[in-house]
Each structure stands twice: as structure tokens, then as C-alpha cells.
């Protein structure tokens, strides 16, 4: 049995390397299902061997080599895949027993991006794209994805299996689309990358408030996208948004792992490098937009995040400008989540009643499965001095959330509001 340190190393390595493994193996085998199985086999081998042999100097390269060898063995046993065996065997002969992964980084990064585009194939439904991306790119287990989507694990497993089958039947290739097809699929890819990041920034389920590994994966994918679509301001807007929001991750929890709200965060703990990268990406988006290229929701959200990044204290935040940006965002990309966030901005800029007025315009049954609306309404009511009503809203939000840390935070806010009445 692995000790805690080795087990943690294996888990961390898998999180970091799984997408690269699946991407590279899928390129070699042209079979996503087989690629995922081979990657999983390598993980099992690590679980069996590393506790006794020790963690190798380059764990990612070890996993890749092991997966390739198992792939060769698998294909050699399959009579109908003899041609692939020869191709893969030839490729393996060119690879040393323990290849230098650093020399293959550029190629492997491309494989991950190809994998993202494959997961966002138009033959798949939006739900299947997200699930497959979280599985193959994010490295989440079927159980973890199922919790996030509020479905049984068996249902999610079937959804992922169907998605893979659909890709096979559609003849989907692990290639980067070009021209009009790439432009068309770019919106879907950006949406999925944003989903991967947000699942890491605010985990929808589980005991932890954040999942930094997933958030970092989202940021990394956004940087890759910016590299292959340098003339698209929205891609740079997405990168800026994720860099700026990601900069706050170190301050979003305290020493005990409990959530810390934006107003209470120690801003000296924000990652200054990510802030600089985010602001630089935003400037690139603005330069491209100045040529007349349309901007969209990611640019606008990044502009809002930049206002928070520029404020040295919570009190110094330019809430009137943020409220105006949310007004523009609501017109460009309307939706209930945008309206709830717009209510926060107007509540800070013009007082809690202004925010409550924005919420009052929403349909009564909107976002019924999310804690977002009652938690924001509770915050506005508390600021308005309506503590008893605020406590009820926080309690309702606590009932709705599936995240343990968030539930604890909301229950604490409800108790505090009750004690003030």
C-alpha cells in the first residue's frame, strides 16, 4: 500500500499528466477509448510499483513510457490491428526506455489542445462535450463529474461512453480544425475551457471550496488557445479573465481551508504574476478590438476582473464602473447569472436597494438548483439591515449548495445574521 506521500504524488502526477497522456496516446493509436484505457493502465502500474521502487525522477515520462509499452502489447495481441502494431512498434523503437519528456513538450501541448477540440466536436451535445472534456482533459473521475452534473454515476458513465461512441461513428479525428470550422468551434471550446476553470475556482460539489489543479488546467488551456488564435480578441479576453480570477486562488481560503470572500481577502496573497499576465492579455484584446473586431462576454468579464485586480483594497474598488460594465455585459450576453452579478455591482455602487431591484426583476423560478441567487439576496438584505430576511436567504442557499465548505460558510453567515436581529 502506498504511503501518504507517495499516494499524494501519484494523485498530483495524474492530475497534471492525464490529459497529455490521453492526447499523445490518442494521436498514436487514433482511438480515444484505447488511449484512455492505456493511460489508466499506466496509473495502476504506478500505484503498484512506486510505493516499493520509489517515485521516478520524471513521473510523467515514466507514465508515458509505461502506457506506450502496454499499448504495443495490446495491439500486438489484436490480429485485426497488426498494421497499427507495426506503426506503433516503429515509433517505440525511436523512443528510449525513459524518454526525456521535456524534449516533447511542444508536441504534447498540441496534443492536449487537439483533445480539447475533439471533446467539443459538433456531433456531441453541450452536456457531453463538457463531461468528456472534464474526463479526458481535466482528469476527473466519472463520480466527480456525476456529482457536478447532479446525475447518478452510472448515468454519467453511460453519457461519456456514448460520447466516445459518437466520436467514433462520426469519424472524428484528433486534428486541429482550420478555417471556418475552427472559428465555429472556437466558441464551444472557450465555453468548455471556462467550465473547466470555474469548476476549479468554485467546486460545485465535494468538500473543498476550490480545486486549484483544475483552475490551473483551465488557465493553461486558455493560454494555448491564445497562441493558436492570436487575432481573436475574445480568446485573449478569456485568457485575461482566467489569469485575473486565478490570481485570487491563494487568498480564497484561509490556513484551515475555509472560504474567504472577496472583501475579506488578503490582496497581498494574490498572485502578482497572474495579474500582470491577465492585464497584458486584456491589453492585447483591446488592441485587436481597436481594429474593429467585435468583443464579447469574456472580454467584458475580464474588464470587470481587472477592476478588482487594480483595487489595492476592497474599499478602493470602482463599483460604479463595474456596474456599468455589467450593464453592457447584460445587453451583450443576457442571462440569470449575469443579472445576479449585476445586482451585486449595483448594490455596491448605489446601495443594497438598487441591487435588490435588479433581483426583483428576475423570474421567481430562476436558478432554483443553485445557491447563487439566495446567497446574493442574503448579502444585499444584510447590508440593508434586514437581518432576519438575510438569515432566511443564507439558510436557503446552504440547503441548495453541494459544496461542503460553501455550506459551512453560508450557515455561519445565517447564524451571524440571526444573532444580529
- 158: part of which helix (H) or strand (E)? helix 153-169
Topology of 1-83 in CATH?
A: Rna Polymerase Sigma Factor; Chain: A (1.10.1740)
- The confidence score (pLDDT) of residue 33 equals 85
Model confidence, pTM? 0.74
- The confidence score (pLDDT) of residue 98 equals 43
pLDDT in tens, 24-52: 888 878 788 888 889 989 999 999 999 89
Q: How far apart are CA 117 and CA 133, in angstroms?
A: 9
CB 95 within 8 A of CB 68: yes
pLDDT in tens, 118-142: 888 889 988 888 889 888 887 778 8
pLDDT in tens, 296-328: 999 999 999 999 999 999 999 999 999 999 999
Give the model's confidence band at 83: pLDDT under 50 very low, under 70 low, under 90 confident, else very high: low
Q: How far apart are CA 121 and CA 414, in angstroms?
A: 44
* Domain assignments of the chain as residue spans, ordered by start: 1-83
Whether the predicted pLDDT of 10 surpasses 50? yes
In this prediction, residues 404-413 reach a mean pLDDT of 91
Classify each residue of 299-333 as buried b or exposed e, where b means 16 or more C-beta atoms within 10 Å of its C-beta. Answer: bbbbbbbbbbbeeeeeeebebeebbebbeebbeee
Q: What is the mean pLDDT of the chain?
A: 86
pLDDT above 70: percentage of residues in the chain:
89
Our CA angle for 85, 90, 94, nearest 5°, is: 140
- The confidence score (pLDDT) of residue 100 equals 43
- The confidence score (pLDDT) of residue 85 equals 54
Amino acid at each position: 500500500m502506498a504511503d501518504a506521500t507517495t499516494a499524494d504524488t501519484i494523485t498530483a502526477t495524474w492530475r497534471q499528466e492525464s490529459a497529455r497522456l490521453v492526447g499523445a496516446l490518442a494521436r498514436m493509436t487514433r482511438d480515444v477509448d484505447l488511449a484512455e484505457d492505456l493511460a489508466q493502465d499506466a496509473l495502476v502500474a504506478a500505484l503498484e510499483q512506486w510505493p516499493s521502487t520509489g517515485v521516478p525522477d520524471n513521473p510523467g515520462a515514466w507514465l508515458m513510457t509505461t502506457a506506450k509499452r502496454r499499448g504495443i502489447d495490446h495491439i500486438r495481441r489484436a490480429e485485426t490491428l497488426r498494421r497499427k502494431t507495426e506503426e506503433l512498434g516503429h515509433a517505440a523503437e525511436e523512443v528510449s526506455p525513459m524518454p526525456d519528456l521535456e524534449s516533447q513538450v511542444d508536441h504534447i501541448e498540441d496534443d492536449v489542445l487537439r483533445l480539447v477540440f475533439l471533446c467539443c466536436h459538433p456531433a456531441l451535445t453541450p452536456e457531453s462535450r463538457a463531461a468528456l472534456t472534464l474526463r479526458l482533459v481535466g482528469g476527473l473521475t466519472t463520480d466527480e463529474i456525476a456529482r457536478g452534473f447532479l446525475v447518478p454515476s452510472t448515468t454519467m458513465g453511460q453519457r461519456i461512453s456514448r460520447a466516445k461512441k459518437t466520436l467514433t461513428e462520426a469519424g472524428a479525428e484528433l486534428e486541429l480544425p482550420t478555417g471556418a470550422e475552427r472559428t465555429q468551434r472556437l466558441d464551444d471550446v472557450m465555453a468548455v475551457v471556462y467550465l473547466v476553470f470555474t469548476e476549479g475556482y468554485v467546486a460545485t460539489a465535494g468538500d473543498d471550496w476550490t480545486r486549484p489543479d483544475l483552475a490551473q488546467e483551465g488557465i493553461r488551456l486558455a493560454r494555448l488557445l491564445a497562441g493558436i488564435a492570436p487575432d481573436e480578441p475574445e480568446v485573449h479576453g478569456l485568457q485575461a479573465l482566467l489569469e485575473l480570477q486565478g490570481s485570487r486562488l491563494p487568498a480564497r481560503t484561509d490556513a484551515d481551508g475555509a472560504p474567504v470572500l472577496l472583501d475579506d481577502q488578503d490582496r497581498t496573497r494574490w498572485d502578482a504574476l497572474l495579474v500582470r499576465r491577465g492585464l497584458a492579455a486584456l491589453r492585447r484584446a483591446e488592441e485587436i478590438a481597436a481594429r474593429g473586431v467585435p468583443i464579447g462576454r469574456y472580454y467584458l468579464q475580464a474588464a470587470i476582473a481587472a477592476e478588482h485586480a487594480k483595487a489595492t483594497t476592497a474599499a478602493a474598488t470602482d463599483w460604479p464602473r463595474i456596474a456599468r460594465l455589467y450593464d453592457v455585459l447584460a445587453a451583450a450576453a443576457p442571462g440569470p447569472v449575469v443579472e445576479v452579478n449585476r445586482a451585486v455591482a449595483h448594490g455596491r455602487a448605489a446601495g443594497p436597494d438598487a441591487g435588490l431591484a435588479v433581483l426583483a426583476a428576475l423570474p421567481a423560478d430562476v436558478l432554483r438548483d443553485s445557491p447563487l441567487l439566495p446567497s446574493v439576496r442574503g448579502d444585499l438584505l444584510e447590508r440593508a439591515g434586514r437581518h432576519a430576511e438575510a438569515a432566511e436567504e443564507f439558510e436557503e442557499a446552504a440547503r441548495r449548495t453541494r459544496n461542503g465548505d460553501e455550506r459551512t460558510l453560508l450557515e455561519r453567515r445565517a447564524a451571524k445574521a440571526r444573532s444580529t436581529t
